[in-house]
């Protein structure tokens, strides 16, 4: 189970690196960006 969590974290980290939102590096911390669009 821990290996699956690590793989999931790596995938999320990869998504954050390749698809950064406009107002921040963490899409989960920037819901206001979606509201203004």
Q: What is the mean pLDDT of residues 13-37?
A: 60
Torsion of CA 34, 28, 16, 1, to 10 degrees: -140
Q: Name which residue leads in pLDDT, 11 or 28.
A: 11
Which structure tokens are listed for 19?
Answer: 């698809």
Would the pLDDT of 24 be above 60? no
Quote the pLDDT of residue 28: 61
Of residues 15 and 19, which shows the higher confidence score? 15
Positive or negative torsion for Cα 23, 26, 31, 34 = positive
Q: What is the mean pLDDT of the chain?
A: 68
- Is the CB of residue 30 less than 8 Å from the CB of residue 23? yes
Q: Residue 33 is encoded by which pair of tokens?
A: 């960006």
CB distance 21 to 30 below 8 Å:
yes
Is the separation of the CB atoms in 20 and 8 below 8 Å?
A: no
The pTM is what?
Answer: 0.36
Number of domains in the chain: 1
Structural domain boundaries enclosing 24:
2-36
């Amino acid at each position: 189970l821990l290996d699956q969590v690590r793989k999931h974290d790596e995938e999320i980290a990869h998504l954050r690196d390749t698809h950064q939102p406009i107002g921040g590096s963490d899409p989960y911390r920037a819901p206001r960006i979606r509201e203004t669009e």
